[in-house]
Amino acid sequence: MRSKSPRRRRVLKPNMEKRLSETVPMSKLHEDQAVLYTTIFVGNPPQPLDVQLDTASSDLWTPISGCTNCNTTLIQTQSDHTSSLFNISSSTTFIPTSRGVKIAYGDGTGVGGVVSKDTVSVGDFVVHNQTLIAVESVQGQFDTAGVFGLGWPTLSTSRGNPWWINAIDQFDEPEFGLYLTSPTNVTIAPAGQLTLGGRNESLLDGEPQFVRLLEQSFWAVPLTQVTVTTNSSSATNTASTSSSSATVSLAGDDAVAILDCGSELIYGPTVYVDAVYASIEGAVKNEADGDDDDGWLLPCDTRASLVFSFGTVDVVLPSSLLVQPSPIAQSPATSTSRTSTSATPSTTARRYCSGTLVGDNDASTTNGASPAWILGHAFLKATYTVFRKGTSPS
C-alpha cells in the first residue's frame, strides 16, 4: 500500500506563465496485472480518484454515485484518502449533457454513461470544463475509479479532447514522459512515474531518440524488425557481447506497433512471434490446451534478448523482461522444443517460464487487424518513453 499526503493546488490564471514539468508517481495493483494508476482530482471542491493510465485510449471516465451496477467494493482505494467513485452532487462545477455513450474494451469489459464536463487536475495542472464520461453502468470488473486516456482525440468516444491535450498550453514542453520500473530498478516509485510537460532527465542517458508517429490516433510507430541475440555470459550481465543473432523482418501492416501502458505483455502476429521463439534456444510451444495462442515457454535462465528496431532507433529487451517472473513448469514434456536447428521433445530438467511475447492470430494482415503489434509493460520497462506533440509528433 502507498501513503499519500494532501497537496496544495494552484489555479492557473490567464496571465500566468507556463509552468515547468511536474512528475507524479504511479502505482500498480498487482505485479501480474496491467493496471498502472495515479491520482487525479475531479470537481469543485476536488475529489481525489485513483484512475488507470492508458495510452491506447483517449477518454476520461469515472463511476458516479448514481451508478446502478457499479460494485464499488471491488475498486481498490488503496486504504488512502481517495474515493471509489465521483460524487457529482458534491461538485459545483459539474455540467452534464444529454448525450449517452458506451465504451467497449478489447478484454470484454465496458462502461456506459453520460458525457459531462468538470474541472480535472493532475498535480498542479488544472483543466476547467474537461470532457469526461460520468459512468452509470459497467460490464465486467474494474479495479480503479476510472480510466485516464492519454491517446489522441480521434480515439475519443466522448468526442472531447483528452486531458493532456487541453493541459498542453500549461506545459513547458508539449510532451509527457513515462517510466515504468523494471525488476532491476524499483527505487523510483512503486510502479514508475509520469512526467507532465517534459521528461525526467535523470533517467535519460543523453538526448532521447524520437521515432516518427504514423498517425494521430494510437501512439503508433513503424516496427521494422525484431532481432534475437544470445549472449555468451549470464542473462543479467548487460555488458555481455552477442554470440549469435537471428532477425525477423516486418513489412506493410505487420510493421505497425502501438505503445500501450494499459497492456501487460507484448503482442504480435502469431507467425512472427513463432519465428522469434524458434530462434531462442530451449523455447517450447505451450500446446497443453491445443490452442495456437497458448504462448511459449522458455528457460527461466535464458540468455536470449530481443532488439526491437524502429527504423534507426533500437530498443533492447533484456532477458529479464523476456520471461514472466513465476516459473510454471519443470521440463515440459507435453510441449515440443522449437529451436533454430531442430524440433525435438524437450528432456532437459530446467525451470520454464512463460514468455512476455505472445502471438495473436487476430493481429495479422490477412485478418485486416491493425495495429499488428501491441507493446505493453514488458516493453515499456526496457526504455524511458517520451510522448511528444508537435509538427512531427513522436
Domains of the chain, each with CATH number or no CATH: 22-202 (2.40.70.10), 205-388 (2.40.70.10)
Lowest mean pLDDT among 67-81, 152-166, 173-187, 339-353: 339-353
260 is catalytic: yes
More confident residue, 243 or 325: 325
Catalytic residue among 50, 59, 260, 360: 260
Q: Tell me the per-residue pLDDT of 240-285, one tens digit each, with 9 for 90 and over.
A: 454 678 999 999 999 999 999 999 999 999 999 999 999 999 999 8
Catalytic residue among 54, 59, 254, 360: 54
54 is catalytic: yes
Q: Three-state SS across the chain? A: CCCCCCCCCCCCCCCCCCCCCEEEEEEECCCCCCCEEEEEEECCCCEEEEEEEECCCCCEEEEECCCCCCCHHHCCCCCCCCECCECHHHCCCCEEEEEEEEEECCCCCEEEEEEEEEEEEECCEEEEEEEEEEEEEEECCCCCCCEEECCCHHHCCCCCCCHHHHHHHHCCCCEEEEEECECCECCCCCCEEEEECCCCHHHCCCCCCCCCCCCECCEEEECCEEEEEEECCCCCCCCCCEEEEEEEECCHHHHEEEECCCCCCEEEEHHHHHHHHCCCCCCEECCCCCCCCCCEEEECCCCEEEEEEECCEEEEECHHHHEEEEEEEECCCCCEECCCCCCCECCCCCEEEEECEEEECCCCCCCCCCCCEEECHHHHCCCCEEEECCCCCC
Q: Tell me the per-residue pLDDT of 5-61, one tens digit each, with 9 for 90 and over.
A: 333 333 343 434 556 788 888 876 655 566 788 899 999 999 999 999 999 999 999
pLDDT tier for residue 67 given thresholds of 50, 70 and 90: confident
pLDDT at 13: 39
Above 60 in pLDDT, residue 333? no
Q: What is the pTM of this model?
A: 0.84
pLDDT at 2: 34
pLDDT at 329: 63
pLDDT at 242: 46
